[in-house]
Structure 1
Amino acid sequence: MVEKEDPISEVAEDEEDYDEDEDEEEEEPPVTSQSRMRNDRERMEGLLRRMSSERVPLRVHDVIIKGNNKTKESLIEAEVQALKTVTSMQELLQAATIANARLQKLAIFDSVTVTLDSGPPDLPGTSNVIVEVVESKNRVTGDIGIFTKPEARSWSLESSLKLKNMLGHGDIWDGSLSYGWDQTSEISTGVALPRFMKLVNPVTARVSLLSQDWLKFSSYKEQALGLSLGLLSTRNHDLAYNLSWRTLTDPSQMACKSVRSQLGHNLLSHLKYTFKIDKRNSPLRPTRGFAFVSTSQLGGIFPDYRSVRFIRQEFDLRYALPLGFARAAINFGVAGGVIFPWGGGFVNTPVSLPDRFFLGGNSSPVCSLGGPTSLLGFKTRGLGPSEPRREVGEKAGDAGFDPSSERDFLGGDLAVTAFADLSFDLPLKVLRDSNIHGHAFACAGSLVKLTENSFRDLSFQKYRDSFRRSAGFGLIVPTKLFRMEVNYCYILRQHEHDRAKTGVQFSFSSPL
């Protein structure tokens, strides 16, 4: 919100020519409230006409900050610094709008008002900027939700608690808890600072304890205690560092050879850089625009022999095309990723199991931006290279070995996915008002192994045959608490051991 209160009192004076002699002889008419309002309106109209036709020179004399009882004034000054360098009225209006948005983005104020006022009378062509903030009355916020994916027979309880601006530096402290039935549990706490010392970019730090039970898909459990630092965060660029100690165990004693070879402890130390452009009009139901994300990851920078070393590259490209009726739009997307170890003997070395690519899941790929993940109709980690589970010490030729028993899904080193999604409004007005809409989709994806010299056996024909495909239609119900999808998926192509299902499938996920 930007208010303008007579920034230049001299603009209208150029249009009036007073005769001093006549003023002395004739008595001035009394100034009424109506005439004053008319004069103010005329001066404002003259100012707007001048702004639209020419550049109006102006500089800021002072920036006055009000309402910051807890917040440090230096933080607000840093966010509105651009106001002090403007040289025209047009630049001032633009800078004031940007300053308002930057202060709102801190998420520590209930309201922000930027008012432009005229400068001191003895300094013509100047303006004062008044920045008035209303700090959040409730510094503690929290939420809780239960999300479920019936097709995977799993659910998760997620809750979070945030403390805002406790130190007055715009700091946000948060703690979160996520508990997933037979899948994932995570406890984490962190802090985010919009500015830290001389750095002009936000800085984040987070400590987490993660436990993942993948016994339904692969016979191992994963635990990781980690520290992540956000080093750079701008509109298009993010740079983060992660250090964690990870442990893989096999409580079932049924792991295949590829899983057993990686059980134990290892150190994960990596840098992650993300470049992102998102010009879509909505992240949940885009009807126009495009988005692109590229993620580069270098693992193993910590000098330790147990450090996991790999190079990982992902990209994701989206485009939404409006059709001009019933808010219908077609979304196209293609994503890919490759991971490879580095160091001595890297050609024969496998990539660490948890860091590989895994495809599947029943959440719409339209909402997931970042890399190859979703493939509707296939369960989470439900496709890709796999090996039969076996008892420790058994070999393929041992008596009693059953190759048709459960299998360990091992993920892949090269993943590619693509989709097309047609979204449209439904005929009933009550559904359109609630943004409940339908969609039809088609998906394809491939997951192959490259390490341990597997790339030597990969041909164009084998790679083409590695693609799985599905299609279907469904209903999407977005609410403030969750996003529900009811889809009918038809599996067009799958491999022998893939976990896929044709039929109606439900999904409840976070609304964001």
Structure 2
Amino acid sequence: MPGCHPRLHDPTKQTEAPISPMGAEGSEFVDERASADDASFDFDHAFDNVKGKPCRVDQISITGLDRTKPYIVSREFARVREAKTLDDVKDAVLDAYEDLMGLDIFEAIEIVIDGSRKGGHNCNVAARFYERSILRVHTGTYVQGTEGSVEASANLTNPLGRAEQISLSGEWGSQSTTTYSLGLTRPRPFDSRTVFEARLQQSFHDYQRWSSFSELVRGASLTLSTEDGRHSVSYDLGWRRLTDSSRMASRSVVRQLGDKLKSAVRYAFRYDAFEERLFPRRGWGVSSTSELAGVGVDPNMLRFFRQRLAAQVAVPLSATASLSPT
């Protein structure tokens, strides 16, 4: 599997002497040849001596793009051409690398900063991209409470070359739940720092055992969120049908039987200060979701306002355990 190993040379010198290994996650600016020839070479000191020198990018070469449209990459490297010193070039390259890997369409990116043939205070940037496989398939089985379920999903990565993700999934429960979903995710639409998602879905829930009714929901949703997921705005349009085949539902359920339309806007805010998000041991987080249903003039629409607030705190108990109440 190719990794990301950008290398940095001093473009103000005629030789290709290495400058410094930069401590960036997943990337390092190292010249392996010099390391082998002189293991005692002080890269940090050498780079400190030249990082403030004037330096302009003369040429950016991009290879390895099979499906990806060139503008997806070139818009991220535009900041590199604005750099005025060697240190600015390094920082701009690392920022572009992190943003491009954040699209989740590349397995790895290799970037090399080298001296320009023009000499002087110029350098060249060469980037080699390794795209992810276009198709990913996942299957699994789960047990929640008394119900087991089987899940299958297929994901198309960057099929049209614009960093989009197309996903198709289905879940079949052993007792009461069946869901299907088709989604399209597009990062940075119109060069904005947002993520757009469109989704079609259908779900069926059989609550006859507990509440004497069944629910069928079909609908679509549009969501625009910030890249960090902290803010999101959604619009949901759906059709819901409640049925009572047993004719034993309560009066409150009977009043809701039949077909209803849902037209709703939703805003969500999330913030957390956990040390680790997957298994938080220390920190805290809050979330808020506001939903207003009944956007429209159809008298058959569901109308309500719903506000949800949640908070979580993680307190370490030992080196391997923590308490995390919600």
TM-score (norm 1): 0.54
How far off its partner does 1:105 sit?
2.4
Alignment-derived partner of residue 128 in structure 1: 124
Per-residue CA deviations over 1:454-481 (Å, capped at 9, x if unaligned) read xxxxxxxxxxxxxxxxxxxxxxxxxxxx
Residue 161 (structure 1) aligns with: 154
2:237 aligned residue: 243
- The count of corresponding residues between Structure 1 and Structure 2 is 303
Q: How big is the alpha-carbon RMSD for the aligned residues of Structure 1 and Structure 2?
A: 2.8
Q: Distance between the aligned counterparts of 2:209 and 2:197, measured in 1?
A: 34
Q: Which residue of 2 aligns with 1:485?
A: none
- Residue 286 in 1 paired to residue 280 in 2? yes
Deviation of 1:201 after TM superposition, in Å, equals 2.4
Partner Cα distance (1:286, 1:56) in 2: 43
Rate the CA distance shift 1:316–1:127 in 2: closer, same or farther, 3 A: farther
Residue by residue, what CA displacement relative to the aligned partner does 1:396-446 show, whole Å, maximum 9, x if unpaired?
A: xxxxxxxxxxxxxxxxxxxxxxxxxxxxxxxxxxxxxxxxxxxxxxxxxxx
Helix, strand or coil at the partner of 1:160 = strand
Q: Indicate the residue corresponding to 2:115 in structure 1.
A: 118
- Counterpart CA distance in 2 for 1:295 and 1:11 is 59
Contact 1:144–1:157 (8 Å) recurs in 2: yes
DSSP-derived class of the 1:112 partner: strand
Q: Relative to 1, partners in 2 of residues 1:79 and 1:217: Cα closer, same or farther, differing over 3 Å? A: farther
Structure 2 CA distance, aligned partners of 1:41 and 1:9? 19
Matches within 5 A, 1:19-418: 41=41, 44=43, 46-50=45-49, 55-124=52-121, 126-136=122-132, 138-149=133-144, 152-197=145-190, 199-235=192-228, 236-323=230-317, 325-333=318-326
2:8 maps to 5
Corresponding letter in the other structure for 2:155: K
- d(CA) in 1 for partners of 2:320, 2:81: 44
* Aligned-partner SS, 2:221: strand
Distance 2:111 2:172 in 1: 43
**Whole-angstrom CA distance in 2 between matches of 1:250 and 1:308:** 19
Q: 1:200 to 1:284 in 2, by over 3 A?
A: closer
* 1:73–1:220 Cα change, 3 Å: same
Shift of 1:189: 1.1
Q: Is the 8 A contact 1:280 1:289 kept in 2?
A: yes
- Partner Cα distance (1:88, 1:60) in 2: 9
Q: Work out the CA distance in 2 between the residues paired with 1:307 and 1:297.
A: 14
| Cα distance change, pair 260–101 in 1 and its aligned pair in 2 (3 A) | same
Mark the runs of 5 or more structure 2 residues left unpaired by the alignment: 16-32
Q: Is the 8 A contact 1:239 1:274 kept in 2?
A: yes
Q: Structure 1 pair 320/64, CA: closer, same or farther in 2 (3 Å)?
A: same
The verdict on how the C-alpha distance between 1:216 and 1:41 changes in structure 2, with shifts beyond 3 A counting, is: same
Render the CA deviation track for 1:90-139: whole Å, top value 9, x for unaligned. Answer: 44333323322222222222211222223453551x43322210122x32
Instruction: Decide whether the 8 Å contact of 1:11 with 1:46 is kept in 2.
Output: no
**Contact preservation (8 Å) 1:2, 1:96:** no
Cα 1:284/1:110, change in 2 over 3 Å: closer
Q: CA deviation at 1:60?
A: 3.3
In the alignment, the residues of structure 1 paired with residue 104 and residue 282 of structure 2 have an alpha-carbon distance, to the nearest angstrom, of 28
SS at structure 2 position matched to 1:258: helix
**CA distance in 2: counterparts of 1:243 and 1:123, whole angstroms:** 60
Question: Larger radius of gyration, structure 1 or 2?
Answer: 1
Q: Measure, in 1, the Cα distance between the counterparts of 2:69 and 2:172.
A: 37
Query: Pairwise mapping of residues 481-500 of structure 1 onto structure 2 (< 5 A)?
Result: none
Instruction: Provide closer, same or farther for how the CA distance between residues 305 and 153 of structure 1 changes in structure 2, counting only shifts above 3 A.
Output: same
1:312–1:82 Cα change, 3 Å: farther
Matched residue SS, 2:300: coil
Deviation of the 1:314 alpha carbon: 1.7
SS at match of 1:169: coil
Contact 2:262–2:301 (CA<8 Å) still a contact in 1? yes
